[in-house]
Amino acid sequence: MRILILGGDGFCGWPTSLHLSARGHDVVIVDNLARRSADLELEAESLTPIRPLGERRAAWKELTGRDVGFARIDVAQDYDELRDLLAELRPEAIVHFAEQRAAPYSMKSPRHKRYTIDNNVNATHNLLAALVEVELDAHVVHLGTMGVYGYGGGMQIPEGYLRVQVDASDGSQVEQEILYPANPGSVYHLTKTMDQLAFAFYNKNDGIRVTDLHQGIVWGTQTHETRIDERLINRFDYDGDYGTVLNRFLMQAAIGYPLTVHGTGGQTRAFIHIQDTVRCIELAIESPPAPDERVQIFNQMTEVHRVIDLAEIVSRLTGADIDLVDNPRKEASENDLVVVNRSLLDLGLDPITLEEDLLREVSEIAVRYKDRCDLDKIPARSQWVRHKPEPARKLATGADEPVPAPA
Ligand code: NAD
Ligand code: USQ
């Protein structure tokens, strides 16, 4: 299959490109290298020594004989180039990762908020408008987020649609399935809820076939393909803006930095290993929606954990201390989270669990590259609101006295 990977130089995009290339698909990456520019802006590099994209592609060609194409296009700005590429390649599937994906980055300043909205909303809309213009019936596989639903609220979170009963004008009850009510927790998450509406509209109006993968927090670094040679290594973000919670804890444990649990650590989130991410995308590509089918939504996650429990698991495995720090975000200090994830399991996903792979991740990545860590980049400094952050406190029943903030 001819597959275009928008955002194929990123953390999820690069291993996905290699995974699909290894399976015999013809892969072309589109990327504007914005993520590498953000590294320069933030003066924070991937813990792993990622190579320039040209070197990555040359190494893959040398090792496997397979080409991965590349077009440097800003999907949000360079509409004509994107449209012309679609018209020329006529891909059968398009995987869309090309968005600014960090919630803390999206909340840093008005400039970062506006950039995230401009970039993400335009990228998605440009893709949809261009597909219509060139009359291309490609299957769009988009990486959305579990954060579109908010987290929990006592209900089981369904795969995208909620069955509701509403009063009809004649007093009877009408049953309908609607998009699950959007409840974003950051400007970044807000853009993903806007993407959902764009997909629903273009699907209804133009019959664009879309699978929206509502993904949880991705952990881990390597996949079978990125492990083959160090030149193919995947990125690993640990800084306060782009680092996600479990990977941050693993790196912090490796360098003896107390694990930075925000607030109580009672926040419950969904997780998935990077190897399962690439497998899910392959499964989604193989199961496109039928023509005229509504947007297909899968919850792409395999496990649910509280932040404090993750810290305790990592602490048990490594001896790391845990530090309850003031929470820079505005989010519920505790939540439940029950998620339906049947679709991808039914398609054949066999999940990697935290228990199986956590130690390998610590030794293979965090310990191996710990000397590349810049300690100054670890604290999360992006604040959701201007007033004082929620103070850290212990979660244990009857022991929720405030804990002094670390000096
Ligand atoms: P990333 O920042 O590592 O990769 C995104 C890639 O897209 C980068 O290479 C970047 O340069 C490129 N890009 C951004 N804007 C672009 C534009 N306008 N034109 C062309 N290229 C552009 O992020 P990631 O972690 O790989 O995430 C990929 C997707 O998956 C995102 O949409 C994100 O929202 C989603 N997602 C990620 C996670 C996670 O934990 N990493 C979890 C759930 C969902
Ligand atoms: N957290 C800590 N300590 C840290 C970092 C984070 O306690 O050092 C907490 C946060 O306060 C939050 C939780 O951990 O409660 C998750 O934070 P995160 O940075 O790991 O994840 P998040 O900001 O939600 O974003 C990540 C990806 C995003 C994706 C999302 C999936 O960056 O692209 O959409 O996970 S989800 O969380 O399911 O919406």
Inter-axis angle of helices 53-64 and 13-22, to 10 degrees? 20
Q: Which one of 79, 115, 188, 238 is the catalytic residue?
A: 188
Q: What ligand 1 atom has the least distance to the C-alpha of 12?
A: 26
188 is catalytic: yes
Ligand 2 pocket, CB under 6 A: 101-103, 145-147, 216-217, 244-245, 248, 260-262, 267, 269-270, 307, 327, 329, 331, 380
pLDDT, mean of residues 178-205:
98
Compute, in angstroms, the gap from residue 311 CA to the centroid of ligand 2.
14
Question: What pLDDT does 395 receive?
Answer: 74
Read off the DSSP letter of residue 107: T
Ligand 1 pocket, CB under 6 A: 7, 9-13, 31-35, 74-76, 97-101, 119, 123, 143, 145, 215, 217-218, 244
Compute, in angstroms, the gap from residue 40 CA to the centroid of ligand 1.
16
pLDDT, mean of residues 42-61:
98
Residue 406 has pLDDT above 50, yes or no: no
What does the domain layout of the chain look like in residue ranges? 2-237+273-300+337-352
Residue 394 banded pLDDT, cuts 50, 70, 90: confident
- Find the ligand nearest to 73 CA: 1
How does the average pLDDT of the chain come out, rounded? Answer: 95
Q: What ligand 2 atom has the least distance to the C-alpha of 261?
A: 7
Q: Which one of 16, 116, 145, 318 is the catalytic residue?
A: 145
Q: What share of the chain has pLDDT > 70, as a percent?
A: 96
Angle at 196 between CA 291 and CA 200, to 5 degrees: 35
Bigger pLDDT: 355 vs 232: 232
d(CA 36, CA 262): 27
Q: What share of the chain has pLDDT > 90, as a percent?
A: 91
Residue 260 has pLDDT above 70, yes or no: yes
Inter-axis angle of helices 187-206 and 110-133, to 10 degrees? 10
Compute, in angstroms, the gap from residue 129 CA to the centroid of ligand 1.
20
d(CA 352, CA 273): 7
Residue 205 has pLDDT above 60, yes or no: yes
Question: Best substitution site from 157, 244, 277 to test ligand 2's pocket, by max atoms within 8 Å of Cβ?
Answer: 244
Question: What pLDDT does 398 receive?
Answer: 43
Compute, in angstroms, the gap from residue 245 CA to the centroid of ligand 2.
6
Question: What pLDDT does 275 receive?
Answer: 97
**Ligand 2: which residue has its CA nearest to atom 33?**
101
Residues 6 or more apart whose Cβ sits within 8 Å of residue 355: none
**Ligand 2: which residue has its CA nearest to atom 11?**
262
Tokens linked to 368: 């191996």
Question: What pLDDT does 60 receive?
Answer: 98
Residue 389 banded pLDDT, cuts 50, 70, 90: low
Compute, in angstroms, the gap from residue 23 CA to the centroid of ligand 1.
22
Distances (CA, A) of 162 to 112, 142, 174, 192, 298: 32, 20, 14, 18, 13
Residue 77 DSSP SS3: coil
pLDDT, mean of residues 275-288:
98
Bigger pLDDT: 183 vs 395: 183
Q: What is the pLDDT of residues 283-324, one digit of tens each?
A: 999 999 999 999 999 999 999 999 999 999 999 999 999 999
Q: What are the DSSP E strand ranges found in 56-145? A: 68-71, 93-96, 139-145
Q: Which one of 116, 124, 192, 257 is the catalytic residue?
A: 192
Question: What pLDDT does 404 receive?
Answer: 46
Question: What pLDDT does 396 receive?
Answer: 61
Cα of 201 vs its chain's centroid, Å: 23
**Ligand 1: which residue has its CA nearest to atom 8?**
10
249 burial type by CB count under 10 A (0-12 exposed, 13-18 middle, 19+ buried): buried
Q: Which of 168-172, 276-280, 297-301 has the lowest mean pLDDT?
A: 168-172
Q: DSSP characters for 286-349?
A: HSPPPTTPPPEEEEE--EEEEHHHHHHHHHHHH---EEEEPB-S-S-SB---EE--HHHHHTT-
Residue 400 banded pLDDT, cuts 50, 70, 90: very low
pLDDT, mean of residues 260-284:
98
Residue 4 DSSP SS3: strand
Question: Best substitution site from 80, 81, 85, 101 to test ligand 1's pocket, by max atoms within 8 Å of Cβ?
Answer: 101
Residue 10 banded pLDDT, cuts 50, 70, 90: very high
Identity of residue 126: N
Asked if residues 248 and 325 have their Cβ atoms less than 8 Å apart, the reply is no
Q: What is the pLDDT of residues 18-49, one digit of tens each?
A: 999 999 999 999 999 999 999 999 999 999 99
- Find the ligand nearest to 237 CA: 1
Asked if residues 356 and 291 have their Cβ atoms less than 8 Å apart, the reply is no
Q: Which of 53-67, 228-242, 352-366 has the lowest mean pLDDT?
A: 352-366
Residue 198 has pLDDT above 80, yes or no: yes
**Ligand 1: which residue has its CA nearest to atom 35?**
143
The class of domain 2-237+273-300+337-352 in CATH terms is alpha beta
Question: What pLDDT does 397 receive?
Answer: 55
Q: Which of 67-76, 148-157, 314-323, 354-363 has the lowest mean pLDDT?
A: 354-363
Residue 339 has pLDDT above 70, yes or no: yes
Residue 405 banded pLDDT, cuts 50, 70, 90: very low
**HSE-CB of 352 using CA atoms within 13 angstroms:** 20
Residue 152 banded pLDDT, cuts 50, 70, 90: confident
**Ligand 2: which residue has its CA nearest to atom 10?**
262
Distances (CA, A) of 3 to 59, 252, 279, 298, 387: 20, 37, 15, 20, 46
Q: What ligand 2 atom has the least distance to the C-alpha of 301?
A: 38
